[in-house]
Every structure is written in structure tokens, then in C-alpha cells.
Structure 1
Amino acid sequence: MVATLVRLRFLLLWNALQRSPWQMVAVVIGGLYGLGILIGVVAGLVGLGFAPIDVARTAVVLAGAALVLGWTFLPVLTSGIDQTVEPARLVAFPIPIPKLLVGLAVSGVLGVPGIVTSVAALATTLTWWRYPLAALAAVVCAVIGVLTCVIGSRMLVALVSVIGEGRRFREAKGLVVFIPLILLGPIILGLQRLLSDDFDSLPQIASIVAWTPFGAIWAVPADVAAGQFGRAGLEFLIGVATLVVFALAWRWGLAKALETPARSMPAKAAKRGLGFFGVFPGTPAGAVAARALTYWIRDPRYAQSLITLPLVPVFVLVYAGSNGDLTPLNSVGPIIAFLLALSIYADVSYDNTAFALHLQRGVSGRDDRIGRVLALAVFAVPLSLLTVLATVWLTGAWTALPGLLGITVGVLLSGFGLSSLVSGRFVFAVPAPGESPFKSKPGGGFSLTLSLFATWGILAVLVLPELVFAIVSFVSGQIVYGWISLALGILLGAVLLVIGIRVGGDIYDRRGPELLAALQRLK
């Protein structure tokens, strides 16, 4: 049974990769990237073998604890990323719980993250090559550490599934993970500054972490090498106890999930009124706009795009350095416009099979493009312009206002046109409706990211004229160039918007059935 589950895992992965060459390319590139990181980690662990015991102990304990924490908590916040063999799909099969636990654990270890983690953990043996007994202990502790990582990730996911996986729960979970991910850069910079200012405190921090369930098992070889066998024994017991507790909690949560599988909640009675359909005009474009704007409010896959916007000022100040100078804030408005203008370039992909309704009702490509742009423009235009006005008011740089408005308006209009063209031509492997916004098919995240960067580059070229005049205005202080930038932003942006809608609409009309077929293949 264990071998069957492992074969099933790799068979499902292989079938998913065969659907798209981009997914295969992404997996190969991701594997090479992981291999590069692994080589660097192994080299670092070998180098620690020549360092004093306390230095090696600090590095291994802190890194090991971070590894266990990442394995344990990230999957529950980004559920669906590595769920090739989902327990919920095995409910109908009479598989004994012990065999299912072993099978899922082995399949987790044999996945790409599990293999990388196993090699890195076993490489800690090289850190203690000068102490044979410590090196032997490192082998045993590495096995326990890897099992703790894998079982910990499965355990917490199983426990959370008992609590519930409703839509509101997924949205709240998405908020919990997405904000720290967006702030990962500032967090890393802050940690670097903290560690550089108080580097000598790391050994004390590692000593505390060594008594926690996450770091205890990684401290055992170092204490054996130092001859502190009593402390090493207690830490080993803590590590083993952590693995046992994780396994028992996983067994209980998995049993509960299999006995009472998740059921779809009954739909609530619809509220009275037509919602946005009563606000927009009764035309095909108006109906598409109403539907798209409803998605922006109710679909967590769209909502995650808006979560990043309040964090843009934080990014700007952290990377530019505040130091009492608020001038970098003037870039927030154009950046927000840039992000929003391209947020619908994968709109058809997010429609999934519901896109068939547009084809069945004979919605023209231009009406479809206009409706989607109109829904986005309802909040993107006022939000971007108000942000520009607010930042200029805070910084007092009123002479830069025309140039900033020129860049913002040009980015919005040109971006709307570019998104209209791209979404009518390409579809991407995105999370399906109702799934976690962070769920990614093998290679799908890579192809989507690659297309996003390509679209960013194209938009940067399209807004180059207004950008050049705005920069000249900022540098020279002559406001006339800012007004030229604003005029170019309005005129060129409007022209590009019309071209994008017309060309994108024509492509949509010709390739509508092909787009639907591509969406079916990506399901």
C-alpha cells in the first residue's frame, strides 16, 4: 500500500507536467534552483566543520529550527501547494490509518522539498566530521529532524481541516500568510540590521532555541561533540517526544477528516436586489462590468491583489530609506496604478469554465474587454489619482504633481489596453474558483510569473514618453515638462487603450473557443 501511494504521487505529478511544456520547464528550472541552493547549504555545512563548536552549534540550531517552523506552519497557510495525494480523495478507499500515515509520510519525504531537506539534514554530519560520535548522532538526529518536518506539515494541515475549510476561513488564512510574504523583504532587512547590531547575542538565542521542540534535535550533535552528554540526552528526548506528539496529532486529525469529510455548505438565500447589475447599464459591456466588479469584491483570488496596495508605502520607505525624507512617497501613486492596470491580464483564466457563458450568449470581444476594464477603472482610477494627490500633499512637492499625474494616467490607460490584449490571447494556470489563492499547479506559478514580468516590461516601454518628460520636469524643476507628460499620458494612453480593446476584442472573437478549450486543459 505504501509503494502504491508513492507511485500514485509521482504518476499524478507526471500527468500534470505533460499537460503543458511550460510546466515541465518550470519544474526543471525550479529543480536546478533548488539544487543550487542545496549545494550552497552543503558547502556551508562543510565549512562549519572547521569552525569552533559554539559557532557551528549556533548556525545549525537556528537553521534547523527555522526549517522545522517553515515545514510546520507554511503548508497550513498555503494549503494546496504540495497536496498531490490529498487525503480527502482517499476517503472512499478502505486504507488502514497506519498504512495511510506511513504512505503519506514517505511520499512527503520523496517529494522535491523532502529530498532537498533530507540531503541538507544529512549534510550536517559533515559539520561534525572531526568528532566521530557527534557525526553518528548527527545521522540519527537528521532522520528524526526530517520526519519531524514532514509529519509536522501534515499534522497541522490535518488539524486545521478539522476546524473547517470554509470560504471565510480560507480568506482569513490568506490574509495571515499574504501580508508577511509581501513584507518578507522589509522583515529580512530588519533582521539583518538587528543581527549586525547585536551579533554576539546569537549563541544565547541558539541556547534558548535548543530547548524548544523545533531546535532541540539539531543541538544534540554539538553537545555530544562538546562532551555535554547529559544536555544532549535531554535534547534528544525533547526531539523524539516532539516527533511522537506530531505523529499522534496527525493520526487523530487525519482520522477525524476521513470519518467526517468536508461537505459543501448549503447556499444561503440570495439577497434582494440586483447588486451591481442594477447599477451598470443593461448592455453586454455593462453586464460584464457588473460581473467582474462582483468578482473583485467577493473572490479572494482578486482580493489578494488589493491586499498589497496598502503595503506599497511600507516598501518604498524601507527600501528608499525614510531618514525623515518623505520624497520617495511620491512614487507610490504610479506604482499602485502600475499594479492595478495589469491586474486583469489573466482575467479570462480566472473565469475558468464560467467563460463559456460569454461564448454561449455571444458577447463580442470588444464588449467583454470594455466591461472588464470598466469594472477595474471604477476603483483603480480614483484610488491612483487620490494617492498621487495625498503623497504630494504630504511631501509638499506640488511642482511634481503634473508629471506624477502624467505617469499615473499613462500607466492606467496603457495598462488597461495591454491587459485587454493579453487576456484575449493567452490563458494561464491559475487557482480555480473556490481554491486557495496560493494554490499552484506544477509549473503554473512559473509561467504566470514569467508572463507577468514580460507584461511589466512591455508596459514600461509603452509609458516611456510621458515618463521621460516627467523625469525631466523633476530634475530641471520646470513644470512645463510635467504638463507635457500629463498631456502625453492622456493622449497616448487613450490611443493605446482603444487599440488594446479593439485588437484584444478581435483576437477574442477569433480565438474564443480555443481559449475555452485551453481553460479546460488547465483544470
Structure 2
Amino acid sequence: MAAHVLRLRLALLAGAFRGPRPHVVRAWLGLIALAAVVIATGGMLLTLRTASDDAVLVVTVLGGAAVAASFLLVPLIVGVEDQLDPRRFTIFGPDARSLAVTTGLAGLISIPVLAVAILGGCLVAVWSAHGVPIPVGILAALAAIVTCSLFARIGMAFAALVLRERRSRELSSAFAILIIVVAVPASIFFASLEWRGHVPTQLVEAATVIAHTPLGAAWAIPALAPTGGAAPAWAVVVAILSLAGLAAIWWWLSAAMLTAPERPVAARERGGLGWFAVAPGTPGGAVAARSLVYWLHDRRYMANILVVPVAALLAIVPPLIAGVPVEVAVLVPLPILALFFGWLPHDDLAYDSTALWLHIASGVRGAADRIGRLVPVLLVGIPVLAVAVPVAVAIHGRWAVLPAAVGACAALFLSGLGLSSIASVLSPYAVSRPGDSPFRQPQRSGSSAGVAQGLVLLGAIVVSSPVLWWAWLAVTGRVEFSAAALWGGIAIGVAVLVAGVLVGANAYERRTGALMEFAEST
């Protein structure tokens, strides 16, 4: 069976370059692009033969960990179809253990794994130049190749079992947001470090930590030996345990897939549900899905999203005109961004118009309504702040103020969301109706509109004032207040958010009649 599956794998690999002309052209262009990347990367790696031991450690461990993570994450994000899906062998009645071993070995025959093998060969030459025995380098490269292959098998199996029926562009968007939140700030941080002929200690410490994880252990076995920065024995133990653990997970997934046949009809039925297919099947999840649809398609919401970053960027101009140094003025947009993102849902109920009756008639609890309506703002605000904060701090030039910036933004953003959850229930005011221009505002009687907007903004600033003061002290040189700003901002923001959701939920359940009357009259 193993020989037959391996021959089948080779045939499938060759068949990828056959078929209709457009498919063949795309396949060859992809192969050429991958070959160019591998050649360029391999050439860069070979230059490390004369680099310092620390440089070899940082490049090989961090780069190898990123490659291994991509083998796991890419199938989850883009939904790569597994040609060796164990469910395709169900009709032959195979043993789960032998099938897991066979498909695992066949998974080593792929173009991405071949690319990793070529890069591994370059690393063997680099490690050898730094005094690592060639057999040790070869074993480490083989362990890294098998680790990447198992990550790919696990990623595709998990996507097929758990995500296939809920696969949609919305789910891919959610994964992309997660990648932005994690990868972009880290990339900005690493790119901003000044090497000046030596490796920054932050990168060495990061590489040493990742060397003791399944992502980087195999790559670190030879790299740690010359540096003396950590005992390679620990990396060997972690690499062996990682391979054993990944093999066990792959065996378990193979057995589970043999008893979980594909249901393509059900998948097609769920294909048009959009965000409702991604969100949890709870009242709060339904509210969140409906709110996401509105936020991404209603131009009134989209205008609000676009105005906030523009207003924050324009706030740099007055300080610069007044003579404030650029490295200080660049931090000004951060609290403005956080404050206005938290302020956005302060009148969210009014934008529902008569659709509010869906929530009231179906008996949606106040907590589900309040939490669900905050999801779109969180999905927009967190990635924007995750990119804006490290960019601004990198331009500022002192990474010691990063915790203070994060704390100030967290306090303003989260407390604004909490106060908005109350204001949108207690003091809704008329807004432009669906389909109207977002800049065409209806006539309003009384001053409730201005009071609601002002109280949310002022309240968020007041409750965040201690954090803003600590952040200012950190920016002006007293960096010991940076940690206080971070943890204080998170604590205050979370407390106000939770309290605001609870109070808003209680007010929502008590004022359903008044809210329905408001929706019908505007």
C-alpha cells in the first residue's frame, strides 16, 4: 500500500502541470516564482558562513520558525485541499495507523517540502562553517523538514474536519485579521532595531525562547551549539518531543477522518450564509453577524470608519506647527484613534432603523445585544491600533514607551466601548436613514444628541485620565511609569467595558418599548 500511495503522490505532483492551458501557465509561473524565492533565500543563507554565531542563531531560528508556522497556518487561512485526505481511502478499509504512516511519508513529496529541503542543505553548509559536525546538521535539517511536513498535514486535516463546512471568505478574513494583529507589530519591532554590526540582544533572546518551542527546536539544534547561549540538549529533547507529539496528532486526526466522511451537500447549503456561518450559533453570535454585515456594506458605517483615521492623522499638524518635535507629535494620533473607535457605537441602535424589531420581537437578551454590537468595532479597531501603535513608537524611537502607548489606547478604546453600550440605549438620536448619504443628518429636537456624544467622549477621557498621566510621564522620560500605564490601562478599560455592557444590557431590557417607539418615529 505504501509503495502504491507514493507512486500516486508522484503522479499527482506531475499532473499538477497538465490540463488546460491557463492552469498549466499558472502552475509554471508559481513554480518559477517559488524557485526564485528559494534561490534568493539560499544565497542569503550562504552568506551567513562568515557571520557571527548570534546572527546565525537569529536568522535560522526565527526564519525557520516562520516557515514552520506557515505550513500550519496557510491551510487554515486559504483552505488548501489535501490530495492525500485519509477519507479518500475509506473504501479500501485501511488500518488507521498504517494509513497515517503512509500518507505522512507521501506528504514529504511536495514542492514546498522540497524547497525547505534545499534551504536545509544551505543551512548544513552554514552550520558546518561554524564548527557543527555535518551529520548533526543533516539530522537537524531532516527533523525540520519532517516537522514542516507534519504541520502541513495537521493544518489541512484540521481545516477539512472543522473548518470545511464553515469555510468562507469571512472566515479567511478573520484569520487574516489575526495574522495582522500578531505579525505586523512584530515585524515593525524587528525592522526598527538598529544592528550596527552586531545582533540586537532582543533578537537573540527571542530566538533563544523560540528555540525551545516546536516551531524552532529542530532549526536550533546546530545553531545553539556554537553560541553557547543555551544547552543544545534541551533543543534536542524539545525537537524529539515535538516530532512525537505531531506524529501522534496526525495519527489521531487520520483515525478521526476515517469515521467522518465528507458532506459536500451540507457545505454548499451553508456556503451563502456569510458571517452567520462563521459566528457562533447563539443570540450574541447572530447579533454580531448581522452587525458585521451592516458595518461592511452600509456606507453610513463605512464613512465613520474612514473618518476616524483621517481625523487622527490631521491631529499631527497643530503640534508640528506649534513646534512640538516630530518624535512626540507622532504619538498624538494614537489616543485619538482609540478614543473615537470606542465612541463609534454610541448610537448604534439608531442605525438599525425599523430592523430593531428583530431583536425585540425575538426576545434577544440585553447582554447578547450589547456584546454582539461591539464585535465589528473590535474587529476593525484592534487591527488598526495593532499596526498604528508600533509604527508610531518606531518613529518615536524609544520602545520603552510602547507599554504606555498600549495602556493608554486600551483604556480609551475599551472604556469608550463600555460607555457607548450605555449611551446607545439611554440616549439614541436620529441619524441618516438606510440608503441616505452618511453626511445628510436629519433635524433633531432637543440637545440629547450633543449630550450623548459629549458624555461618551468626556467620560472615556475622565476614567482614563490616570493612565494618560502615567503615559505622559513615560513619554517625557520617566519610563518607570510605562508598566503602570500598561496594566492600569488594561484594568480600567476592561472594568469600564464590563460595567458598561452590564448596565447597557439592563437598560435595554427595561426600555424595549421606548426603543421600539424611537425606531418607528425616526
The structure showing larger relative contact order (alpha-carbon pairs under 8 Å, at least 6 residues apart) is 1
Query: Normalising by structure 1, what TM-score?
Result: 0.49
